[in-house]
């Protein structure tokens, strides 16, 4: 274990405190009818790391994402971004405060061009207000935004698609566009909901490079994933959920050996069947 590792010395146990958490959730609960979809006692996300959230289907990962980003309201609990409480804050305001999410099913704005997809994400454009739109004076901001968009599109290999409709991109290009678009907001925390779902192996590799690139560029990345191998490769820290709870946390190599995690993934009977 490398002493430079950001998670050096953090104990691999659920709910453990981190040295410099950007996001802290406490007692977060959400139920749908009789089903307790999320029941997280305590969870901290370390700044400037790639934290992956794994767990079997129905473990509550996406629901937790929805709660943290304001797309769903919890029955109970509180959570803070950089010490600021996010309880009762609307989803669009959570995004403005620097925590941006993507969706499991890619949401490109199909009948907008790739450039418009990027520009719509930019913050603080006074032309987005009705008064500003009527009176003008937003073109300088627009040009600056276009420059930034071009840089990002180049970084994600989409510069040749700038004027195409987003709906005409391939599935993989849409994933890249969604990531680039999220960055247009200059977020502090990027939350990716299964970015690797339905993506071919070559693109998976490129997406992984982009994700670590985000961290190296000073962002905190949280992403949901099924595939343990993918997680091993790029995560600094892994949080495992099952039945709405955080059942394990730790460095990837620790998680791979964790008995509880193996049970959750393969079912508790697998050991008995073998014996």
Partner 1 sequence: MDWGSVFIDGILATIGPVTAAYAISAIGLNLQFGYAGLLNFGHVAFMLVGAYGMAITVDVGGPLWLGIIVGILVAAFLGFLLGLPTLRLRADYLAITTIAAAEAIRLVVRSSWAQPLTNGVFGIQGFADSFFDLNPFPPAELYGIGSLVVTGRKLWVMIVGWTIAALLTLLIRRLINSPWGRVLKAIREDEDATTSLGKNVFSYKLQALMIGGAIGGIAGMLLAIEQQNVTPDAYLPQVTFILYVIVILGGAGTILGPIVGAVVFQFLFFTIDALMVNTQANIGWVGDLLTPAAAGQVKLVLVGVGMMVLMVFRPQGILGSREEALIDER
Q: Is 102 in contact with 47 (CB distance < 8 Å)?
A: no
Closest separation between CB of residue 222 and partner 1, Å? 14
- Based on the shown chain and the rule CB under 8 A, indicate whether residue 51 belongs to the binding site for partner 1: no
- Taking the least distance from each CB to partner 1, the nearer of 48 and 96 is 96
Nearer to partner 1, 87 or 133 (CB): 133
Q: Which residues contact 209 (CB under 8 A, 6 or more apart)?
A: none
Interface with partner 1 (CB under 8 A), residue from 77, 127, 172, 252: 127
16 binds partner 1 (CB under 8 A): no
Stretch that binds partner 1, among 97-105, 148-156, 197-205, 238-246 (CB under 8 A): 97-105
CA dihedral (94, 249, 37, 266) positive or negative: positive
**What residues between 129 and 168 interact with partner 1 by CB under 8 A?**
129-130, 132-134, 136, 138, 142, 165, 167-168
Residue 200 Cβ vs partner 1, minimum distance, rounded to whole Å: 17
Residues 6+ apart with CB under 8 A from 120: 109, 112
Span from 13-21, 102-110, 149-157, 233-241 in contact with partner 1 (CB under 8 A)? 102-110
What x-and-dash track marks residues 66-95 binding partner 1 by CB under 8 A?
Answer: ---x-x------------------xxxx-x
Buried/exposed 41-76: b ≥16 CB within 10 Å, e otherwise? eebbbbbbbbbbbbbeeebbbbbbbbbbbbebebee
CB nearer partner 1, residue 100 or residue 247: 100
- Residues within window 173-202 making contact with partner 1, judged by CB under 8 A: 174, 181-182, 185
Cβ 111 to partner 1 shortest distance, Å: 5
**245-250 and 237-242 beta bridge pairing:** antiparallel
Taking the complex as a whole, how short is the minimal distance between the CB of residue 95 and partner 1, in angstroms? 4
Partner residues linked to 223 by β-bridges:
52, 192
Closest distance to partner 1 from the beta carbon of 128 (Å): 4
Here the contacts of 72-78 (C-beta below 8 Å, separation 24 or greater) are 72/30, 74/28, 74/29, 74/30, 74/38, 75/29, 75/30, 75/31, 76/27, 76/28, 76/29, 77/25, 77/26, 77/27, 77/28, 77/29, 77/40, 78/25, 78/26, 78/27, 78/28
Of the candidate residues 104, 125, 204, 260, the single one contacting partner 1 (CB under 8 A): 125
Instruction: In whole angstroms, give the CA distance from residue 194 to residue 97.
Output: 23
Residues that bind partner 1 (CB under 8 A): 69, 71, 90-93, 95-96, 100-103, 106-112, 116-117, 119-121, 123, 125, 127-130, 132-134, 136, 138, 142, 165, 167-168, 171, 174, 181-182, 185
């Amino acid at each position: 274990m490398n002493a430079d590792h950001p998670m050096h010395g953090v104990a691999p146990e659920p709910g453990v405190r981190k040295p410099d958490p950007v996001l802290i959730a406490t007692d977060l609960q959400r139920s749908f009818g009789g089903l307790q979809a999320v029941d997280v006692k305590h969870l901290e996300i370390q700044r400037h790391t790639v934290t992956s959230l794994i767990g079997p289907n129905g473990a509550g990962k996406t629901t937790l994402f929805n709660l943290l980003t304001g797309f769903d309201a919890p029955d109970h609990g509180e959570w803070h971004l950089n010490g600021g409480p996010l309880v009762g804050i609307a989803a669009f305001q959570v995004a403005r405060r620097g925590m941006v999410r993507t969706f499991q099913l890619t949401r490109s704005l199909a009948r907008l061009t790739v450039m418009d997809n990027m520009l719509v994400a930019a913050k603080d454009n006074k032309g987005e207000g009705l008064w500003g739109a009527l009176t003008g004076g937003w073109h300088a901001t627009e040009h600056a935004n276009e420059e930034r968009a071009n840089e990002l599109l180049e970084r994600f290999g989409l510069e040749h698609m700038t004027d195409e409709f987003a709906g005409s991109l391939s599935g993989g290009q849409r994933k890249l566009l969604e990531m680039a678009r999220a960055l247009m907001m200059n977020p502090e925390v990027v939350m990716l909901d299964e970015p690797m779902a339905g993506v071919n192996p070559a693109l998976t590799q490129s997406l992984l490079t982009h994700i670590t690139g985000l961290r190296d560029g000073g962002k905190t990345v949280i992403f949901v994933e099924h595939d343990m191998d993918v997680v091993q490769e790029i995560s600094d820290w892994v949080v495992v959920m099952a039945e709405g709870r955080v059942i394990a946390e730790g460095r990837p190599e620790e998680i791979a050996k964790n008995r509880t995690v193996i049970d959750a993934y393969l079912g508790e009977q697998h050991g008995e069947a073998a014996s």
